[in-house]
């Protein structure tokens, strides 16, 4: 007697959920465990490597995965690390960063190294401007937020230096 059971096939929906969950976790872990608090005025700034998996998610898997990884990964970090007041801002700002990086990488034609660098430069602008105004709202001060700008710039630039040279190779391997 022949068995009629066949194992379920992995659906593309399941694969998307797993990839999104993986990048949420990687972004959370890289933000939580690979960071340095800068001792400068105001909030100071936190340098972390959470942008590395965020940018990989956006450049390799696209704007939706980038947005989800950034919004939830770093948003969860804020919630569980004592920075809960920042979580709504982070959700929007870093979600927008991931979305825009993925969107630019997907839609802008040309040399991928240049396009991906442009995408990350755009994320840098979103981060600096977004967190500046988040701090203005939270601290009711237009000067203090300038203290966080160096840390925000450093973390995006460092992540870009790590990710841009790898992104296309990772993408070609992911879709073999």
pLDDT at 37: 75
Lowest-confidence segment of 45-54, 129-138, 151-160 by average pLDDT: 45-54
Tens-place pLDDT, residues 78-128: 999 988 999 999 999 999 999 999 999 999 999 999 999 999 999 999 999
- At residue 7, the 3 state secondary structure works out as coil
C-alpha radius of gyration, the chain, whole number: 18
Alpha helices in the chain (DSSP H): 12-33, 51-56, 63-80, 87-107, 112-139, 149-174
pLDDT above 50 for 7 = no
**Sign (positive or negative) of CA dihedral 71, 72, 77, 78:** positive
pLDDT at 1: 47
> Could you tell me what percent of the chain has a pLDDT over 70?
89
DSSP state of 61: I
Structural domains of the chain sorted by starting position, each given as residue range(s) with its CATH number in brackets: 16-174 (1.10.1760.20)
pLDDT at 102: 97
DSSP state of 47: E
How many other CB atoms are there within 10 angstroms of residue 6's CB atom?
Answer: 6
In whole angstroms, what is the distance from residue 77 CA to residue 28 CA? 6
Question: For 43-52, what is the mean pLDDT?
Answer: 79
In whole angstroms, what is the distance from residue 127 CA to residue 112 CA? 22
Helix axes 149-174, 112-139, angle to 10 degrees: 140
Name the pTM for this structure.
Answer: 0.89
pLDDT at 36: 79
Indicate the pLDDT class of residue 34, thresholds 50, 70 and 90.
confident
Mean pLDDT, the chain, whole residue set? 90
Indicate the pLDDT class of residue 42, thresholds 50, 70 and 90.
low
pLDDT at 53: 97
φ/ψ of 152, rounded to 5, equals -65, -40
Question: For 28-48, what is the mean pLDDT?
Answer: 76
In whole angstroms, what is the distance from residue 20 CA to residue 75 CA? 14
């Amino acid at each position: 007697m022949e068995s009629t059971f066949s194992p379920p096939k992995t659906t593309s929906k399941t694969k998307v959920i797993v990839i999104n969950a993986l990048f949420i976790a990687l972004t959370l872990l890289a933000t939580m465990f690979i960071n340095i608090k800068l001792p400068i005025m105001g909030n100071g700034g936190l340098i972390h490597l959470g942008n590395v998996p965020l940018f990989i998610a956006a450049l390799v898997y696209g704007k939706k995965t980038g947005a989800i990884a950034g919004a939830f990964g770093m948003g969860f970090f804020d919630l569980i690390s004592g920075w809960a007041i920042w979580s709504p801002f982070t959700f929007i700002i870093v979600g927008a960063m991931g979305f825009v990086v993925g969107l630019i990488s997907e839609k802008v034609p040309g040399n991928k190294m240049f396009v991906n660098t442009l995408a990350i430069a755009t994320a840098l602008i979103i981060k600096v401007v977004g967190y500046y105004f988040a701090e203005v709202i939270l601290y009711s001060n237009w000067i203090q937020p300038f203290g966080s700008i160096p840390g925000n710039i450093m973390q995006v630039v460092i992540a870009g230096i790590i990710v841009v040279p790898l992104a296309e190779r990772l993408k070609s391997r992911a879709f073999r």
